[in-house]
Each structure stands twice: as structure tokens, then as C-alpha cells.
Amino acid sequence: MEYWIKAEPDVNVYVNDINPLGRKTILFIHGWPANHKMFEYQYNHLVPLGYRCIGMDMRGFGNSDKPLGGYDYNRLADDIRCVIEAMRLRDITLGGHSTGGAVTIRYMARHNGYGVSKLALFASAAPSLIQRPGFPYGSTRETVEQIIQATYRDRPKMLRDFGELFFYQKVSEPFSDWFFQLGLQAASWSTIAVSKAWLAEELFHDLAKVQVPTLILHGIHDQVCLYPLAVAQHQGIRNSVLVPFENSGHGLFYDEREKFNRELSRFVG
């Protein structure tokens, strides 16, 4: 079932509710610059097992409205709250990939984990995507600035280049084209705005506010959100479990999808 849920008076976010009568609910938050369709290899595995899978497109991406503003983590977390309230979701697992993972952490801290009983982080861009004083583990500020400038100059080429960094395992050319199209469905301005948010957003204090069991899945070959970020998440979140993926990059949901699906379903219960 498809819904457009009002996040602000003039902004609606898209939600795809797969298997609404499923026994346990997982709300998936995608990473930049894709949309909820990136999790199709999870939906195909989890739904037959009886899970309810809800895919949400963040504002500016996929089928959601694409306003010119509202791309800081607070607003994106507030959009998740709007979806959880509108759909009356309770006792769910909230899962997020990359930037989506960072936003789910902000949600847990900002909204006290409303409606969420478990958190799952997939290659999450937390506690900071970029290096900062006292935190030398992220990408460089210059790398992000280059992505921003490349988006202004030639967004399709930027997406192609980013796609080449994304997966550790070799993917087919048709799969690469499909993934490329997910990025093109976003607005150029939202693609740029979220990239700029990486430079400003920190989640060091948010980690300690996560009060639910947390699963951290992260590829050791990740070139986007480097593996030490996962270690920092594990150290900062009480009652968390870190599972390294030895044969995965940033796209661990596809690189090692069988292991990914097995670990996630075991965690959700």
C-alpha cells in the first residue's frame, strides 16, 4: 500500500507499506542519494517470512515531495516522527542506511525513540561522516566539498562515480544502471543540501541517548562511511552489537545480502 504522509503543510513524504498485516514491523530509511527501493533485496526476503516492511522516501528523494529546504537532520528526523504517528506504528524496528542511519540516531535522541523498540544501523554516517578535531576517522571535508561541486557541475557523472565506490562485490551493468537511476530520481537541490548537511551535522551526544537494543552492520571495506565509524557507534551506544561484514563495502545490503538479511531478521525476532 502506498501513502503520501503530510510532514509539513506543503510537504508530503512517500511511504510504501509492504505486508501491512505482518507480525513485526521494520521501517527502512534509505541512504543518500537513493530511495526506499534500494532495500528491495530485503523486502523480497523478509516479507515471505511474515515481516511488515515499510519503505519511506526522505523528502527530496524518490517519490516524496522535493521542497527547497528542510534537509538538516532535525527536520528529517521530524519527518520520521510524522510517519510513525500518522501510521500509528508501535514497537517497531527502525533501520537506516548511511545518512538514513544518522537520521535515525537523531530521531532516537530528539524524539526519545517514540514508537521504536529496536534500532538497526547499516553503514551509518555517524557520529560524523567527516573528520573533526578529536575524531580522525571519517572522510575529509575536501572529499565532501568535491562531491558538492561535482553535483553542481555534472550530477549524472557524480552519481556514476559514487556508484563505483559503493559496492565491494562486482555488480552487473544492469544493476549499476538501476542503482544510478535511484539517484537521478532525487532533486538536484536536495542531493546538494544533504551533502552540505554532512559538513555541519554531528551525533556524538546523540549516541548516548539511544536507549533501545541496537544492531550495527558495517562493511570493513566501506569507502564512504569508513569502518571506524561503526566502532565509534558501538562504543557510544549502550546495548549495541556490532557485526562486521568482511566482504562488503558501503552497499552491504547487496554485497552480502544473505548475511545481511539473516542478521537483521534474527535481531528483529
State the pLDDT at residue 143. 97
The answer for 31, left when phi > 0, alpha when psi is -120 to 50, beta otherwise, is beta
- Burial string for 7-45 (b: 16+ CB within 10 Å, else e) reads bbeebbbbbbbbbeebebbbbbbbbbbbbbbbbeebbeb
Active-site residue 190, yes or no?
no
Q: How far apart are CA 111 and CA 80, in angstroms?
A: 10
Angle at 46 between CA 257 and CA 216, to 5 degrees: 55
State the pLDDT at residue 9. 96
Single-letter amino acid code for the residue at 179: F
Annotated catalytic residue: which of 17, 57, 79, 222? 222
Are the C-beta atoms of residues 247 and 217 closer than 8 Å to each other?
Answer: no
Q: What is the DSSP letter of 87?
A: T
Q: How far apart are CA 227 and CA 222, in angstroms?
A: 6
The answer for 175, left when phi > 0, alpha when psi is -120 to 50, beta otherwise, is alpha
Q: How far apart are CA 89 and CA 116, in angstroms?
A: 8
Annotated catalytic residue: which of 64, 98, 128, 195? 98
Q: How far is CA 185 from CA 37, 64, 227, in A?
A: 11, 10, 28
Q: How far apart are CA 253 and CA 97, in angstroms?
A: 9
Q: What is the pLDDT of residues 44-54, one digit of tens each?
A: 999 999 999 99
Mention every residue, 6+ apart, whose C-beta is less than 8 A from residue 234: 216, 240, 241, 242
State the pLDDT at residue 170. 96
> In sequence order, which ranges of 33-140 are alpha helices (DSSP H)?
40-46, 73-86, 99-110
Single-letter amino acid code for the residue at 251: G
Annotated catalytic residue: which of 45, 97, 218, 250? 250
| pTM higher than the cut 0.95 | yes
| CATH code of the domain covering residue 151 | 3.40.50.1820
Total domains present in the chain: 1
Active-site residue 218, yes or no?
no
- Identify the segments of the chain with pLDDT beneath 50: none
State the pLDDT at residue 48. 97
State the pLDDT at residue 220. 98
Phi, psi of 228 (to 5 degrees): -60, -20
Q: What is the pLDDT of residues 70-86, one digit of tens each?
A: 999 999 999 999 999 99
Active-site residue 222, yes or no?
yes
The kind and range of the H/E element at 153 are helix 141-166
DSSP, collapsed to helix, strand or coil, labels residue 22 as coil
- For 225, the domain range is 2-268
